[in-house]
Chains A and B, each alone.
Chain A
């Protein structure tokens, strides 16, 4: 071989040429796609992704000149987003969460949509009249002393209770409330959950009265909201968390006792082998706390006859006080560094506007964020099985926000650590006073 260097060189050159030839069309194809398309970054399960794609398809049908390239996020949204932006490929339009968008807004990643609204007064007026106050305001945030609107809500994803009508009837238990305005109490809820919990001869539970399909510490906090305590003071850029408040502690203890003391709800071990949504879908749980993203799963479950109801209110609230849900909305934002702001604005206007919201409302997957779509025949038709439709249509109006702070990820890490022992029953809820102190320190230092 060594005395035939040309042979080797020819081989290397040939290989190089082949590699270059095979890469060239791929690179060119990729570049042309990247250059023209508007990127839309969102996170969704396959069903939700399909619903959003229907919005994208309809937009493209009406705006053939604007090509949209959807970018579906994996589980680590911030991780993926930061990687994109660090590489100079920040998506043009991005989905933001009520709880986490502040982190991006505070870093200057999101465009203040008020700047676009100021130039589009017709749409601004239409949006204002059709929007639901608490949802729209959830994405208004002060960066420094300057206020801005950093996203438009695209859905209400607050939590409520699903209940199994057949299990209620079999146990002879009266059906729960039909609206948020006339809720039940913690005591009535506990009695119902106890009455609907069934055990076999060995004492093993065969049917749970209540299951939570959301994050447990958020669910516990939702019970606290229904005991008259907001999570923090103030809710935007908070300086103090109310974890140590007596009514907050009382509600969290009530929630923890459902599984640890009354055994009417499964503990962490008992949900390892079967997830809580599956327990409800299989008719092994009478009530389930969750948001609208669970609706389609339950609708598809064989033989499950369910309806929706409000959350109960705690003893700290006067009788007759309305129950509340959380906002839990996702919104559509535009990247401040986008080179296609005008196109992005058209897309956001469409998706968060009446047409996009109508498609969202008909999907069975989301509760739209505009009144026109919410009260449309399409939404009612998609939810024809729900008798208590008002729980969904007035849910957003009865929603309260969770804290909005750029330090939310740190707060969650601390909550995860401190709520665990309380919800497991190894510490009383009074220990959350320590958490309030730690979180306040994080809030002050950030």
Chain B
């Protein structure tokens, strides 16, 4: 910075503040137009009946009432989303902990391994789903060919409703692990080396160090990963749409809330109903997240008092 003339001090300051606002303005406008407005609009729409072609009609709580009392598919979607969330979040956290633990080692060529592990993060989920469709092909898919080598007969990964959800979870975990591993790896690198040295002197092995030192000390990051993974699982749509079709098939095996929302909005043109569903999803996520944060805070306080 060059010197500033003190006699004119207020002017540049004001100018700077003005410039600051100017620079923030485009982002602020984007947040207003693309975030706040749609949020408000969808809340408004959740009390309306709207098919895009005709003006909205106020229906009060009818959309919510129908959702909870007379839509059998809502329960199916909730059940599938719950299975998908459990089937995705638990393996993601466990696998990414192990992956981050391995990547945290100071080994030769670890940079290359890290790059390979993080690659799925850079691929679009649609591309990923299309590639996995080939992998899951019953007759000529890579997975069944490899299973054939060890004598396993072909599994109808995407054709059988029982297997379709499992396949979807596999792809989702494969996709979620890199992101979770980045967060956990960053947290692991923040654990002081001295703690490990002390543990080593006390005779703790690698696994013991990981379980008793690394994992407790990165609890915050783990909680974050769990919260983000649950939110992602609830929002699942693009991958299901490409991998299992627009109706979340076969039959209703992968009919999750995201697919239900899209179907009501764009196939059935029930935008009000879809908005109500979106707000119900938001409410469920909010409750889950608050509960999780409370629990983790409680646990860390207990841990802190235990240590003290």
> Bound pair: A and B?
yes
Residues of A in contact with B (beta carbons under 8 Å apart): 2-3, 5, 8, 76, 78-79, 82-83, 85-86, 103-104, 107-109, 267-270, 272-273, 409-410, 413, 416-418, 420-421, 424
- Residues of chain B from 1 to 54 with CB closer than 8 A to chain A in the complex: 1-4, 12, 15-16, 19, 51-54
State the CA gap A103–B251 with chains docked (Å).
24
Min distance, Cβ A405 to any Cβ of chain B, angstroms: 13
Interface pick from B87-95, B106-114, B136-144, B230-238: B136-144
State the CA gap A108–B1 with chains docked (Å).
65
Q: Is the Cβ of A3 less than 8 Å from the Cβ of B139? A: no
Q: Is the Cβ of B266 less than 8 Å from the Cβ of A79? A: yes
Whether a CB of chain A sits under 8 angstroms from the CB of B268 is yes
Whether a CB of chain A sits under 8 angstroms from the CB of B252 is yes
Q: Name the one of B1, B15, B19, B268 contacting A410, with C-beta atoms under 8 angstroms.
A: B268
Q: Name the one of B52, B158, B268 contacting A409, with C-beta atoms under 8 angstroms.
A: B268
Q: Is the Cβ of A2 less than 8 Å from the Cβ of B137? A: no
Q: How large is the interface on B (under 10, 10 to 19, 20 to 34, 35 or more residues)?
A: 20 to 34
Q: Is the Cβ of B12 less than 8 Å from the Cβ of A417? A: no
For B141, what are the chain A residues with a Cβ–Cβ distance below 8 Å?
272-273
Q: Is the Cβ of B154 less than 8 Å from the Cβ of A269? A: yes
A-B pairs under 8 A by CB, number: 84
Min distance, Cβ A131 to any Cβ of chain B, angstroms: 28
Q: Is the Cβ of B159 less than 8 Å from the Cβ of A269? A: yes
Q: Is the Cβ of A270 less than 8 Å from the Cβ of B53? A: no
State the CA gap A82–B53 with chains docked (Å).
7
Q: Is the Cβ of B54 less than 8 Å from the Cβ of A107? A: yes
For B156, what are the chain A residues with a Cβ–Cβ distance below 8 Å?
268-269
Q: With contacts A82-B53, A272-B137 known, is A416 near B251, CB below 8 A?
A: yes
Q: With contacts A3-B2, A86-B52, A420-B249 known, is A272 near B266, CB below 8 A?
A: no
State the CA gap A420–B248 with chains docked (Å).
13
Whether a CB of chain A sits under 8 angstroms from the CB of B101 is no
- Residues of chain B from 249 to 268 with CB closer than 8 A to chain A in the complex: 249-252, 263, 266-268
Q: With contacts A2-B2, A272-B138 known, is A413 near B247, CB below 8 A?
A: yes
For A3, what are the chain B residues with a Cβ–Cβ distance below 8 Å?
2-4, 12
Q: Which residue of B lies closest to A336 (CB)?
A: B53
Q: Is the Cβ of B12 less than 8 Å from the Cβ of A2? A: yes
Q: List 29 A-B contacts (CB under 8 A).
A: A2-B4, A2-B16, A3-B2, A3-B3, A3-B12, A76-B246, A76-B266, A78-B269, A82-B51, A82-B266, A82-B269, A86-B52, A104-B53, A107-B54, A108-B54, A109-B53, A269-B154, A269-B156, A272-B137, A273-B138, A273-B139, A409-B267, A410-B268, A413-B247, A413-B263, A416-B247, A416-B251, A417-B247, A424-B250
For A76, what are the chain B residues with a Cβ–Cβ distance below 8 Å?
246, 266
Q: Which residue of A lies closest to B72 (CB)?
A: A438
State the CA gap A79–B53 with chains docked (Å).
12
For B159, what are the chain A residues with a Cβ–Cβ distance below 8 Å?
267-269, 272, 424
Q: With contacts A85-B53, A409-B268 known, is A420 near B12, CB below 8 A?
A: no
Min distance, Cβ A300 to any Cβ of chain B, angstroms: 24
Q: Which 6 pairs from chain A and chain B are nearest by CB?
A: A269-B138, A79-B266, A273-B140, A420-B251, A86-B52, A107-B53
Q: Is the Cβ of B52 less than 8 Å from the Cβ of A420? A: no
Q: Is the Cβ of A420 less than 8 Å from the Cβ of B161? A: yes
For B139, what are the chain A residues with a Cβ–Cβ distance below 8 Å?
269-270, 272-273
State the CA gap A273–B160 with chains docked (Å).
16
For A103, what are the chain B residues with a Cβ–Cβ distance below 8 Å?
269
Binary contact track B51-63/A, C-beta < 8 Å → 1, others 0: 1111000000000
State the CA gap A267–B12 with chains docked (Å).
75
State the CA gap A78–B269 with chains docked (Å).
8
Q: Which residue of A lies closest to B246 (CB)?
A: A76
Task: With A2-B2, A107-B53, A272-B137 given, name 20 new contacts (CB 8 A).
Answer: A79-B267, A82-B266, A83-B52, A85-B52, A86-B53, A107-B54, A107-B269, A108-B54, A109-B53, A268-B159, A269-B154, A272-B158, A273-B137, A273-B140, A409-B268, A410-B268, A416-B249, A420-B161, A420-B250, A420-B251
Q: Is the Cβ of A108 less than 8 Å from the Cβ of B53? A: yes
State the CA gap A102–B95 with chains docked (Å).
51
Q: Is the Cβ of B51 less than 8 Å from the Cβ of A107? A: yes
State the CA gap A26–B251 with chains docked (Å).
47
For A418, what are the chain B residues with a Cβ–Cβ distance below 8 Å?
251
Q: With contacts A273-B137, A421-B251 known, is A78 near B266, CB below 8 A?
A: yes
State the CA gap A270–B141 with chains docked (Å).
12
For A273, what are the chain B residues with a Cβ–Cβ distance below 8 Å?
137-141
State the CA gap A67–B3 with chains docked (Å).
64
For A85, what are the chain B residues with a Cβ–Cβ distance below 8 Å?
52-53
Q: Is the Cβ of A2 less than 8 Å from the Cβ of B54? A: no
For B54, what are the chain A residues with a Cβ–Cβ distance below 8 Å?
107-108
State the CA gap A108–B12 with chains docked (Å).
60
For A83, what are the chain B residues with a Cβ–Cβ distance below 8 Å?
52
Q: Name the one of A5, A109, A269, A272 contacting B15, with C-beta atoms under 8 angstroms.
A: A5
For B249, what are the chain A residues with a Cβ–Cβ distance below 8 Å?
416-417, 420
Min distance, Cβ A136 to any Cβ of chain B, angstroms: 25
Min distance, Cβ B24 to any Cβ of chain A, angstroms: 14
For B19, what are the chain A residues with a Cβ–Cβ distance below 8 Å?
5, 8
Q: Which residue of A lies closest to B267 (CB)?
A: A409
State the CA gap A418–B2 with chains docked (Å).
75
Q: With contacts A3-B4, A268-B159 known, is A413 near B251, CB below 8 A?
A: no
State the CA gap A79–B266 with chains docked (Å).
5
Q: Is the Cβ of A417 less than 8 Å from the Cβ of B52? A: no
Q: Which residue of B lies closest to A8 (CB)?
A: B19
Binary contact track B161-174/A, C-beta < 8 Å → 1, others 0: 10000000000000
State the CA gap A284–B16 with chains docked (Å).
75
Min distance, Cβ A12 to any Cβ of chain B, angstroms: 8
State the CA gap A416–B52 with chains docked (Å).
26
For B263, what are the chain A residues with a Cβ–Cβ distance below 8 Å?
413
State the CA gap A308–B51 with chains docked (Å).
42
Q: Which residue of A lies closest to B136 (CB)?
A: A272
Q: With contacts A78-B267, A270-B139 known, is A417 near B251, CB below 8 A?
A: yes
For B4, what are the chain A residues with a Cβ–Cβ distance below 8 Å?
2-3
Q: Which residue of A lies closest to B8 (CB)?
A: A3
For B252, what are the chain A residues with a Cβ–Cβ distance below 8 Å?
417
Q: Is the Cβ of A82 less than 8 Å from the Cβ of B52? A: yes
State the CA gap A107–B53 with chains docked (Å).
7
State the CA gap A273–B137 with chains docked (Å).
7
For A5, what are the chain B residues with a Cβ–Cβ distance below 8 Å?
12, 15, 19
Min distance, Cβ A148 to any Cβ of chain B, angstroms: 16
State the CA gap A291–B138 with chains docked (Å).
27
Min distance, Cβ A118 to any Cβ of chain B, angstroms: 25
For B160, what are the chain A residues with a Cβ–Cβ distance below 8 Å?
424
Min distance, Cβ A408 to any Cβ of chain B, angstroms: 10
